[in-house]
């Protein structure tokens, strides 16, 4: 798969962690709105934080899960990691329950610079788990960034040595590809606006 996304590292991280834009790329939101319910800053940078996000589904009156999200950035790169958490489990934790019993299957993005600051070339990346974010627009003078996507998925097989079925691999590949394509489309739309 060829992914050529426009944008710089800062633009990309801001897009991915902004809950008001989440429905543009997050398959889990199903096109519904996402609102920030809680926000805890981590350190001096306001972008380094942990947030609890509520999902308001587009086709239903009630959501059965929340999103726990952590974002972090420094000069070397940025991370956005999130996991859906069912509401009863989150209520248990908020009442002082043991968080060890809550299953978290994180999804994450690592955003790294792709090279020197004034590099102005388009680079292609092949594969479903990564996409090259570059700027080849004449009005942009910064560099692009490399977006790496990772999903952790619970498999139905209970035997650790069991082989993963081709159907499961195809489903995960489709999920990652759809997410990358939605991010690509949204960032390209913002670049041309």
Least confident of 114-118, 177-181, 187-191: 114-118
CA distance readout (Å), 161 to 41, 155, 157, 164, 166: 41, 12, 9, 9, 15
Residue range 142-179, pLDDT digits in tens: 567 788 888 887 766 666 677 778 888 898 889 889 98
Residue range 2-44, pLDDT digits in tens: 333 334 556 788 889 899 899 889 887 777 889 999 999 998 8
* Domain CATH code at residue 152: 3.30.530
Residue 134 has pLDDT above 80, yes or no: no
The tally of domains found in the chain comes to: 1
Cβ–Cβ under 8 Å, residues 16 and 26: no
Which residue segment(s) compose the domain that 23 sits in? 2-192
pTM (whole model) above 0.85: no
Residue 23's SS3 state is: helix
Cα distance between residue 97 and residue 101, in whole Å: 9
Q: What angle do CA 28, 34, 37 make, to 5 degrees?
A: 120
Tell me what pLDDT residue 122 has. Answer: 40
């Amino acid at each position: 798969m060829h992914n050529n996304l426009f944008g710089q590292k800062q633009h990309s991280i801001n897009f991915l962690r902004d809950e008001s834009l989440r429905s543009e790329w997050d398959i889990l939101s199903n096109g519904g709105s996402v609102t920030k319910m809680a926000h805890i800053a981590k350190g001096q940078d306001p972008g380094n934080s942990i947030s609890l996000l509520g999902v308001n589904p587009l086709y239903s009156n009630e959501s059965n899960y929340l999103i726990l999200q952590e974002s972090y950035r420094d000069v070397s790169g940025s991370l956005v990691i999130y996991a859906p958490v069912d509401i009863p489990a989150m209520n248990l934790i908020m009442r002082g329950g043991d968080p060890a019993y809550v299953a978290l299957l994180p999804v994450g993005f690592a955003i790294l610079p792709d090279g020197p600051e004034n590099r102005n070339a388009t680079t292609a990346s092949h594969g479903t788990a990564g996409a090259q974010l570059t700027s080849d627009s004449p009005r942009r003078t910064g560099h692009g960034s490399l977006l790496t996507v990772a999903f952790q998925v619970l498999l139905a097989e209970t035997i650790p040595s069991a082989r993963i079925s081709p159907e499961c691999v195809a489903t995960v590949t489709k999920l990652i590809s759809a997410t990358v394509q939605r991010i690509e489309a949204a960032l390209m739309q913002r670049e041309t606006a």
